[in-house]
Amino acid sequence: MKKIPELFGSMVFNNEVMKARLPKEIYKALKKTMSQGTHLELDVANAVAASMKDWAVEKGATHFTHWFQPMTGTTAEKHDSFISPSGDGKVIMEFSGAELIRGEPDASSFPSGGLRATFEARGYTVWDTTSYAFIKDGTLCIPTAFCSYSGEALDKKTPLLRSMEAVDKQALRVLKLFGNTSAQRVIAEVGPEQEYFLIDKEMFLLRPDLIYTGRTLFGARPPKGQELEDHYFGAIKPRVSAFMKELDEELWKLGVCAKTKHNEVAPAQHELAPIFTTTNIATDHNQLMMELMKSIANKHGLACLLHEKPFAGVNGSGKHNNWSISTDTGINLLKPGKTPHDNAQFLLFLVAVIKAVDEYQDVLRVSTASAGNDHRLGANEAPPAIVSVFLGEELTEILDSIEAGTNYQGKEKRHMEIGVTALPHFPKDSTDRNRTSPFAFTGNKFEFRMIGSSFSIAGPNIVLNTVIAEVLRQFADRLEKAKDFNSDLAELIKSTYHEHKRIIFNGNNYSDEWLAEAQKRGLSNYKTTVEALPEFISPKSIELFTKHHVFTEAELRSRYEILMEAYCKTIHIEALTMVDMVKGEIMPACIDYQNDLMKLLQRKKALGYYDSSLEEHLVGNISKLTACMLKNLSTLEKALLDSKEERKILAQAQFYRNSIYTAMSELRLVVDELETLVARKHWPFPVYGEILFSVI
Ligand code: ADP
Ligand code: MG
């Protein structure tokens, strides 16, 4: 292996490569476009494209693609080779500026949520100059945004970039009021921790449910699960370690700062965290990470499961979105400072986040909603479906004393005056290891923990950035008019905290007391995707996103449709898979086993004197359960027929949740019990114990 610094970014057309390979003037023009979003002239684009192509060809690339993120949640790419006929029966390798800047994939097969009906069917992709091009699998990938002909966003990147601009704009207004003239930009940054499962590929291929839906639809609890907590941070098994090593290396080549890897709580569960970076790049990198996890696992005879809940009874997987905002001069606005001035600024940004999360808890919840994540949120492991903020005791005490105008009761008892006194030095609260909070302050960043492991982090960050931008806008509007900045600022921090502190909760989020308490505080609790999603198109949400030009109303409504449809389709596929597994394999297995037992019974009877209580007991119980299975199966099949009835999308999603999902759960219950009775050699699928402990 090459040395890591040499390896790192070796497949990325990054700043260093650009500087080394582009003519000076071209490099300067491109940098300007990258930092200021100015138009890229065609001659500049042509020069960049030629240089990119040469570099890529030297690295063995033969094709290029506009790499984009449609509303499917994954990435899309259509490869074109660089070849161009040179007239003499030969070819040359070509790549033009026009091809670099803009592509025109046929958009008609991507979800558009109705946008296509009203707008042009064709879509186009445009180079996102803020994210570097890279080579993956012999193809030069150009990160692009994907829009309809009339400019409506059909992807996740476009609104993400818009939301980053919104925070940038509003945060800069606030910073100016604090006399900061050096910062040109404020950047939202993210470090997403990715959880996943690794199982043996052979086991995976024997489970149609894993193949079609990404999760097991049946499976009785194994004798051992995660109760001993012996997997968490445990020694990494050699096969897993080999996978992780290759994954790290491939990610490093692509410039992804893969940093921390460890075993997670559930058996076969692991985590990989990169070092944080600009949200837009972090999002691209997280997509690459998920893709590489799958393909590299495959090479190692493993299957990587990114579903939120591959196995019932053990923890599911999430994605912890560590988020902060900082200036282009390197100041983290969520980091408590050392001077009174810095601390006043820190407190203002802190209460801005508190207010934003409280006021927009509904849309934040929406951003984490999916059929897969419904199995986690509120299911006693991941954060609950109720959004709340963890601040830690010390910071809460400081804010409490500010609110009450009393002495801060910490180690250094004194009166806190915003902008006059420095914050008492508070060590990172030890309770910041509170893993139950959905939105935890962890010293200099917030960790949004409700996101599902298979999600693109674009959605949650679009919402996060926009709600923060909105509150900062309100703050800037108010403080720009202030006669006495310091006293208005103090008053604003105090009153904001007072009005929104109901969102703060430092205790155990899994407890029943919290459920009751949250309800008393008037916090929302959307238990399922179907309940949460309508909040996305509430008047409040429409006002928020349109005001900051993150989504138009049409875009918002189209996304709502897409998310609802995805929910229905997911459950539909799961239900069909269950039916298929039961009819095709589980029923015959039960019959075969009973047949064995019946034959034995007959032989025993013929001989006359043997005791047959075991066989009779088994046949009796299995018969009872199979009858029940048959009944539950027909209920599910009937519900599936009913799903064909014409309904509005919300009613349809409700039908899937209430009728189909319920019927699926009931069917699973009987089948799981049958699994414990039928002889293992007859059971058609590997069981949980075999799958979860398959990698040795
Ligand atoms: P853990 O939460 O497991 O204790 P850390 O807190 O060290 O781990 O970091 C988790 C993630 O948070 C990493 O991806 C890290 O790069 C990221 N992170 C650290 N500082 C910041 C920051 N200021 N803004 C955004 N992400 C950050
Ligand atoms: Mg963390």
Pocket test for ligand 1, best of 445, 451, 461, 464 (most atoms within 8 A of CB): 445
The whole-number pLDDT of residue 214 equals 98
The whole-number pLDDT of residue 568 equals 97
For the CA of 273, the nearest atom of ligand 1: 14
Confidence of residue 650 (pLDDT cuts 50, 70, 90): very high
For the CA of 193, the nearest atom of ligand 1: 14
CA of 449 to the centre of ligand 2 (A): 8
For the CA of 334, the nearest atom of ligand 1: 23
CATH number for the domain including 652?
1.20.120.1560
Strands 302-305 and 186-200: antiparallel
**Tokens, residue 499:** 């009005």
**Tokens, residue 688:** 């949980």
Q: Please check whether residues 395 and 430 belong to one and the same domain.
A: yes
Q: Please check whether residues 123 and 221 belong to one and the same domain.
A: no
Residue 660 has pLDDT above 90, yes or no: yes
Residue 431 has pLDDT above 60, yes or no: no
CA of 425 to the centre of ligand 2 (A): 23
Three-state secondary structure along 479-545?
Answer: HHCCCCHHHHHHHHHHHHHHHHHHHECCCCCCCHHHHHHHHHCCCCCCCCHHHHHHHHHCHHHHHHH
For the CA of 322, the nearest atom of ligand 1: 26
Residue 530 belongs to a domain: yes
* Per-residue model confidence as pLDDT tens digits over 541-578: 999 999 999 999 999 999 999 999 999 999 999 999 99
The whole-number pLDDT of residue 434 equals 74
Residue 571 belongs to a domain: yes
Q: What's the rounded Cα separation, in Å, for the pair 503 and 513?
A: 15
Q: Please check whether residues 149 and 169 belong to one and the same domain.
A: no
Q: Check if the beta carbon of residue 279 is closer than 8 Å to that of residue 162.
A: no
Residue 686 belongs to a domain: yes
Q: Using CB atoms within 10 A of its CB, is residue 507 exposed (0-12), middle (13-18) or buried (19+)?
A: middle
Nearest ligand (C-alpha, residue 319): 2
Residue 536 has pLDDT above 90, yes or no: yes
The whole-number pLDDT of residue 194 equals 97
Q: Please check whether residues 137 and 168 belong to one and the same domain.
A: no
Q: Using CB atoms within 10 A of its CB, is residue 585 exposed (0-12), middle (13-18) or buried (19+)?
A: middle
CA of 265 to the centre of ligand 2 (A): 14
CA of 593 to the centre of ligand 2 (A): 48
Q: What's the rounded Cα separation, in Å, for the pair 235 and 224?
A: 18
Tell me what the mean pLDDT of segment 449-468 comes to.
Answer: 97
Q: What's the rounded Cα separation, in Å, for the pair 590 and 584?
A: 11
In single-letter form, the type of residue at position 12 comes to V
Nearest ligand (C-alpha, residue 192): 1
Q: Using CB atoms within 10 A of its CB, is residue 504 exposed (0-12), middle (13-18) or buried (19+)?
A: buried
Q: Using CB atoms within 10 A of its CB, is residue 555 exposed (0-12), middle (13-18) or buried (19+)?
A: buried
Q: How far apart are the first and last CA of the chain?
A: 26
Q: Please check whether residues 576 and 445 belong to one and the same domain.
A: no
* Per-residue model confidence as pLDDT tens digits over 578-592: 999 999 999 999 999
Q: Which domain holds residue 122?
A: 4-155
For the CA of 433, the nearest atom of ligand 1: 4
What is the Cα 562 distance to its own chain's centre?
17
Residue at token pair 């390798």: 93
Protein residue with its CA nearest to atom 19 in ligand 1: 276
Nearest ligand (C-alpha, residue 335): 1
Q: State phi, psi for 450 to the nearest 5 degrees.
A: -85, -10
Residue 133: name the closest of 31, 32, 250, 9 by CA: 9
Please report, rounded to a whole number, the percentage of residues in the chain having pLDDT higher than 90: 75
Confidence of residue 593 (pLDDT cuts 50, 70, 90): very high
* Per-residue model confidence as pLDDT tens digits over 148-204: 878 889 899 999 999 999 999 999 999 999 999 999 999 999 999 999 999 999 999
Residue 117 has pLDDT above 60, yes or no: no
Domains: count for the chain: 3
Cα dihedral 9/13/15/20 (nearest 10): 110
Helices 553-581 and 539-547 meet at what angle, rounded to 10? 120
Lowest mean pLDDT among 175-179, 355-359, 398-402, 687-691: 398-402
Q: Check if the beta carbon of residue 446 is closer than 8 Å to that of residue 439.
A: yes
CA of 163 to the centre of ligand 2 (A): 24
Residue 238 belongs to a domain: yes
Residue 381 belongs to a domain: yes
Cross-strand partners of 124: 147
Nearest ligand (C-alpha, residue 433): 1
Residue 420 belongs to a domain: no
- Work out the number of other CB atoms within 10 angstroms of the CB of residue 639: 19
H or E segment and range at residue 562? helix 553-581
Q: What's the rounded Cα separation, in Å, for the pair 450 and 376?
A: 9
Confidence of residue 121 (pLDDT cuts 50, 70, 90): low
In single-letter form, the type of residue at position 280 comes to N
CATH number for the domain including 111?
3.10.20.70
Q: Please check whether residues 378 and 501 belong to one and the same domain.
A: yes
CATH number for the domain including 461?
3.30.590.10
pLDDT: which is higher, 107 or 459: 459
Residue 123: name the closest of 140, 141, 146 by CA: 146
Last residue of one domain, picked from the residues 551, 582, 608: 551
Residue 432: name the closest of 422, 445, 442 by CA: 442
Residue 2 has pLDDT above 80, yes or no: no
Q: Check if the beta carbon of residue 657 is closer than 8 Å to that of residue 528.
A: yes
Residue 556 belongs to a domain: no
The whole-number pLDDT of residue 12 equals 97
Lowest mean pLDDT among 64-68, 106-110, 200-204, 639-643: 106-110
Nearest ligand (C-alpha, residue 457): 1
Strands 63-67 and 79-81: antiparallel
Q: Please check whether residues 531 and 642 belong to one and the same domain.
A: no
Q: Please check whether residues 543 and 636 belong to one and the same domain.
A: no
Pocket test for ligand 1, best of 251, 265, 276 (most atoms within 8 A of CB): 276
What is the Cα 565 distance to its own chain's centre?
18
What is the Cα 425 distance to its own chain's centre?
34
Q: What's the rounded Cα separation, in Å, for the pair 535 and 541?
A: 7
Torsion 385-293-262-220 (CA) sign: positive
Residue 481 has pLDDT above 70, yes or no: yes
Please report, rounded to a whole number, the percentage of residues in the chain having pLDDT higher than 70: 95
Residue 591 belongs to a domain: yes
Last residue of one domain, picked from the residues 121, 155, 189: 155
Q: State phi, psi for 142 to the nearest 5 degrees.
A: -110, 110
* Per-residue model confidence as pLDDT tens digits over 261-320: 898 888 999 999 999 999 999 999 999 999 999 999 999 999 999 999 999 999 999 999
Q: Please check whether residues 449 and 546 belong to one and the same domain.
A: yes
Q: Please check whether residues 293 and 346 belong to one and the same domain.
A: yes
Last residue of one domain, picked from the residues 521, 551, 581: 551
Tell me what the mean pLDDT of segment 131-137 comes to.
Answer: 95
- Work out the number of other CB atoms within 10 angstroms of the CB of residue 58: 8
Lowest mean pLDDT among 79-93, 648-662, 667-681: 79-93
User: Ligand 1: which residues within 6 Å by Cβ?
Assistant: 189-191, 193, 273-276, 322-324, 332, 442, 444-445
The whole-number pLDDT of residue 76 equals 87
- Non-local (6+) Cβ contacts of 617 within 8 A are none
Q: Please check whether residues 537 and 581 belong to one and the same domain.
A: no
Give the mean pLDDT of the chain. 92
For the CA of 323, the nearest atom of ligand 1: 25
The whole-number pLDDT of residue 106 equals 72
Residue at token pair 């830690």: 392
Q: Please check whether residues 430 and 488 belong to one and the same domain.
A: yes
